[in-house]
Copies of this chain bind each other. A is one copy, B any other.
């Protein structure tokens, strides 16, 4: 296994122009206005999407890669000069500022794989205003996407109650890069493996695969397809639903083949798995497992597990790789503090239904007897009494990572433990309870003060 050296660089497709125009015009505007003091932004989600009672933070590794690699090459700058709005900007912005541009800020974040609850910040950036502004779009896309996938995957893994869940989502992903990043987030959140070979290579994730319907269809009859497959691949997983599942299993049994498992990909998976289990057992194929796929979600997995269907593993596709029930998480990146005349001032937006939380914040999680009890979000500073340990840690200082990359397999183990430490009722697949997030005293006073200042 790789230990994370070989990561997917988001800048292969991204880079400084992979952003909204307004990030670049704002940056130019701040530069032109001499607004280059420190600003602090926090990235968070306003509220949980439907079917979620917690989120799992993910994508930080790629976000830090983006920040470390960010720069403008000659072609980028030439293109920027042509953009609407930017034609009015002074030449020194293009000639002096952009060629030397690097991200030199600091970042704090909750470690990847940590369960978080809106509106807790997943990431906080403090940097000169033009820099802190520019990175908004990319950070939201990179962290928002992987966080959506990890949050869905954690539920699927939990629903499977110990049976392995494999990511089969590459073909449903939003392009090839998205498939690789989804596989990473799904593994981080507890999936056992991925079908995505590129993700396996880049991130050291175990890869798995079975058989395609086309293999069965390519042969004049199904049994020849299975026999040839066993000739070539040995005790593999055989796909038995192309024509008639029970007929296929009977012919496998009668032929003396001993597949490692059979895969069901259509029909009533519970009823079918029971009949197939009986057929396999009757033929002495007790070691042949049954794995299923076919538009699975955590709800379907929970139902299958609840009725005790003899199913040994799940392959989940688009539900993971597109986080299909909540594909747009709605992460936001809001200015919370700005330097004015050398003094850091907390800031708050008051738009109806879209208020922000002012000031640099810390999150504390109180854990008792191995169970998370309550989070407190408070202005950074002295922690409230008995609030528990802080979740945000410093991950970047002056534009450089503060520590080595964490191996994905370690982050996965931490994620599984942290999700297991959430209250049972918060982890329920349906009708989950809410987890309490308190606002600290200093934060509440600041909100009150700023809400009135603009009335």
Binding site for B on A (CB under 8 A): 8, 10, 12-15, 17-26, 28-30, 32-33, 35, 39, 41, 79-80, 83-85, 88-89, 129, 133, 136-138, 140-142, 144-145, 168, 170-182, 195-198, 200-201, 207-215, 217-218, 220, 228-229, 232-234, 236, 241-244, 265-267, 295, 317-319, 321-324, 327-331, 334-335, 338, 340, 347-354, 454
**In the complex, what's the smallest C-beta–C-beta distance from A275 to chain B, in angstroms?**
13
Q: Which 9 A-B pairs have the closest CB atoms?
A: A318-B328, A21-B209, A22-B209, A14-B176, A327-B327, A174-B174, A266-B351, A13-B177, A140-B171
**In the complex, what's the smallest C-beta–C-beta distance from A183 to chain B, in angstroms?**
10
Asked if A209 and B20 sit within 8 Å, CB to CB, the answer is: yes
Asked if B195 and A22 sit within 8 Å, CB to CB, the answer is: yes
Asked if A22 and B218 sit within 8 Å, CB to CB, the answer is: no
Residues of B within 8 A of A244 (CB): 350, 454
Asked if A234 and B177 sit within 8 Å, CB to CB, the answer is: no
Asked if A319 and B328 sit within 8 Å, CB to CB, the answer is: yes
Residues of B within 8 A of A39 (CB): 214, 218
**In the complex, what's the smallest C-beta–C-beta distance from A81 to chain B, in angstroms?**
12
Residues of B within 8 A of A212 (CB): 22-23, 26, 133, 136
Residues of B within 8 A of A19 (CB): 170, 196-198
With the chains together, A295 CA to B332 CA distance in Å? Answer: 13
Asked if B21 and A213 sit within 8 Å, CB to CB, the answer is: no
**Contacts known (A26-B212, A218-B335); A175 close to B172, Cβ less than 8 A:** no
Asked if B141 and A217 sit within 8 Å, CB to CB, the answer is: no
With the chains together, A170 CA to B144 CA distance in Å? Answer: 11
Asked if B352 and A267 sit within 8 Å, CB to CB, the answer is: yes
Asked if A171 and B12 sit within 8 Å, CB to CB, the answer is: no
